[in-house]
Amino acid sequence: MKVAKFGGTSLANAFQIKKVCDIVLDDPDRKIVVVSAPGKRTKDDIKVTDLLIAVAKARLAGNDYKDELEAVVARYKEIADELDVEDILPEIRETLETVASADYNDDIKYLDSVKAMGEDCSARVVAKYLTSIGHPAKYCNPKKCGLFLEHDEMGKARILGESYENLEELKYEKQICIFPGFYGYSKDGQIITFSRGGSDITGSILAGAVDAEVYENWTDVDNVYAVNPNIVKNPFPITEITYDEMRELAYAGFQVLHEEALYPVYVRGIPVHIKNTNNPKAGGTKIVSRRSHFDSLVTGIAGEKGFLTITITKYLMNHEIGFLMNLLKIFTEEGVSIEHMPSGIDSVTIIARKKYFTPEKEEIIVNRVKNELKVDEVKIEKDLAIVMIVGQAMEKSVGIMARAASALSSAGINLKIVNQGASEISMMFGVSEAYCDYSVRVLYKELFRY
Ligand code: ASP
């Protein structure tokens, strides 16, 4: 059994939805289909999820929201008319009106319930269309199927363990299951959405629950590329990548799937296959636990800005037992995540993300480090980008670090930090933010154009 998730551009209009259905019907193993809300039809278009957010915001502001709601209905009307399933429209209108006009006592919960309706209505339309062309399909409601979520300490949606057992039942469904992505329910019946792009997570959860042979993630590109195509033109396509490599690249800003989406399939060793709805014949990119082949020495290169360094110096630091533990304790107590921690004999540098190290946190942490640890100096530099070179094949080859460092030095780029873990799957360079994209280009030219 395969779980196939289709993203917003694959549901953007009737023409795209027909492609989705052709793909689904092309393989009888595609029994569970997860759909996003209709995305942009053109570059300047608005996603249905954003139209729904506008509905909710108008209501929350105490304004009339009729026009905003009609804009959403109009998107589905255009789709339903072209698919010849106009009789679904009263159901769509009622669904949208009921949710938008419902009583609420919590703004966030209300917003969640409205913005989830994009995927909900997509699922209704796709199920109806497939059935209308002679392939019985069923709209699956996440509450009825038992997809239960709760909010974690940070307010993010987290799946409740029992959901996996509930969703496993979908295995025995005779019809094609069309499941809306992006949301589930709390145990007390409230809609909870994942963060934006979260339909990827729903697909991954369902693939995990039914122990799918593969989780197919259908999008609008042929492959994942070795570097961001906005930085390097026509980069090398990746045909296969491991979960670990993907995580390392995602860390440095490589955006392919929603960050949390891989976990449910990763723990069960289910491969992910990223494919293009607009070009289903293209091979796509497989994310696997273990590679079957290597196309290149390096799998991918990514760079991300927005880091800072906090360098703490204390004479005879290495003699002081417990120094690092006490330092880390301060960061833990202040709730600031530490990304890396290269150290010297009398100094240690903490790398953190600027967005978590607010001016208020900075003042508290610097004072605590100075007072509690009696250090000589605390120096903060707020100009760091992290560039990662990732590839499992690097483990067996000699000289990549030398080539990378020499290419960067020939390009006049100063290396502030260099880090390579013992797993040898990745190496990290810290450079000035202004050199982030340039470093990626230089490294790509050196390591891929050999
Ligand atoms: N429709 C939602 C969004 O635009 C979720 C998704 O597409 O995955 O973020």
% the chain with pLDDT above 90: 88
Judged on CB neighbours under 10 Å (0-12, 13-18, 19+), 330 is middle
Say whether 300-448 and 2-221+256-261 share the same fold: no
What is the distance between the alpha carbons of residues 328 and 305, in angstroms, rounded to a whole number? 23
Alpha-carbon distances, residue 165 vs 156, 168, 171, 274, 430 (angstroms): 22, 5, 11, 26, 44
Residue 183 has pLDDT above 80, yes or no: yes
Amino acid type, 237:
P
Residue 211 has pLDDT above 90, yes or no: yes
Stretch 148-177: mean pLDDT: 94
Phi, psi (rounded to 5 degrees) for 428: -125, 135
Stretch 211-222: mean pLDDT: 96
Q: How much is the pLDDT for 258? A: 84
**Fold classified for 300-448:** VC0802-like (3.30.2130)
Angle between helices 400-410 and 436-448 (to 10 degrees): 130
CA–centroid distance, 149 to ligand 1, in Å, is: 17
**Domain extents in the chain:** 2-221+256-261, 300-448
Contact 116, 183 (CB under 8 A): yes
pLDDT digits (tens, 9 = 90+) for 49-92: 999 999 999 999 999 999 999 999 999 999 999 999 999 999 99
Is the shortest distance between the CB of 217 and ligand 1 below 6 Å?
Answer: no
Q: How much is the pLDDT for 310? A: 96
Stretch 384-393: mean pLDDT: 94
List 386's β-bridge partners, or say none: 304, 430
Which ligand 1 atom lies nearest to the CA of residue 197?
A: 8
CA–centroid distance, 143 to ligand 1, in Å, is: 19
First vs last C-alpha separation in the chain: 41
Residue 450 has pLDDT above 70, yes or no: no
Residues composing the chain: 450
Stretch 3-14: mean pLDDT: 98
Angle between helices 66-83 and 89-101 (to 10 degrees): 160
pLDDT digits (tens, 9 = 90+) for 427-444: 999 999 999 999 999 999
Is the shortest distance between the CB of 8 and ligand 1 below 6 Å?
Answer: yes
Q: How much is the pLDDT for 294? A: 86
Is the shortest distance between the CB of 37 and ligand 1 below 6 Å?
Answer: yes
Quick one: tokens of 228? 């961001």
Is the shortest distance between the CB of 151 and ligand 1 below 6 Å?
Answer: no
Residue 247 has pLDDT above 80, yes or no: yes
Test site for ligand 1: of 9, 50, 182, 206, most ligand atoms within 8 A of the Cβ: 182
If DSSP states are collapsed to H, E and C, what string results for the chain? CEEEEECHHHHCCHHHHHHHHHHHHHCCCEEEEEECCCCCCCCCCCCHHHHHHHHHHHHHCCCCCHHHHHHHHHHHHHHHHHHCCHHHHHHHHHHHHHHHHCCCCCHHHHHHHHHCHHHHHHHHHHHHHHHHCCCCEEECCHHHHCCEEEECCCCCEEECCHHHHHHHHHHHCCCEEEEECCEEECCCCCEEECCCCCHHHHHHHHHHHCCCCEEEEEECCCCEECCCCCCCCCCCEECEEEHHHHHHHHHCCCCCCCHHHHHHHHCCCCCEEEEECCCCCCCCEEEECCCCCCCCCCCEEEEEEEEEEEEEECCCHHHCCCHHHHHHHHHHHCCCCCCECCECCCEEEEEEEHHHCCHHHHHHHHHHHHHHHCCCEEEEEEEEEEEEEECHHHHHCCCHHHHHHHHHHHCCCCCCEEEECCCCCEEEEEECHHHHHHHHHHHHHHHHCC
Stretch 245-260: mean pLDDT: 85
Would you tell me which CATH number, out of the four given (3.40.1160.10, 3.30.1490.20, 3.40.50.1360, 3.30.565.10), belongs to the domain 2-221+256-261?
Answer: 3.40.1160.10
Q: How much is the pLDDT for 189? A: 94
Alpha carbon of residue 109 to chain centroid: 22
Which ligand 1 atom lies nearest to the CA of residue 196?
A: 9
pLDDT digits (tens, 9 = 90+) for 330-369: 999 999 999 889 888 999 999 999 998 889 999 999 999 9
Is the shortest distance between the CB of 199 and ligand 1 below 6 Å?
Answer: yes
Residue 238 has pLDDT above 60, yes or no: yes
What is the distance between the alpha carbons of residues 373 and 361, in angstroms, rounded to a whole number? 17
Is the shortest distance between the CB of 36 and ligand 1 below 6 Å?
Answer: yes
pLDDT digits (tens, 9 = 90+) for 319-333: 999 999 999 999 999
Residue 242 has pLDDT above 60, yes or no: yes
What is the distance between the alpha carbons of residues 336 and 350, in angstroms, rounded to a whole number? 11
Under the banding of pLDDT at 50, 70 and 90, the label for residue 397 is: confident
Stretch 105-123: mean pLDDT: 97
In 294-315, which positions are buried (b, 16+ CB within 10 angstroms) versus exposed (e)?
Answer: eeebbbbbbbbbebbbbbbebe
> Which of 26-30, 182-186, 270-274, 358-362 shows the lowest mean pLDDT across its residues?
358-362
Q: What is the overall mean pLDDT for the chain?
A: 95
Under the banding of pLDDT at 50, 70 and 90, the label for residue 405 is: very high
Which ligand 1 atom lies nearest to the CA of residue 198?
A: 8
CA–centroid distance, 348 to ligand 1, in Å, is: 41
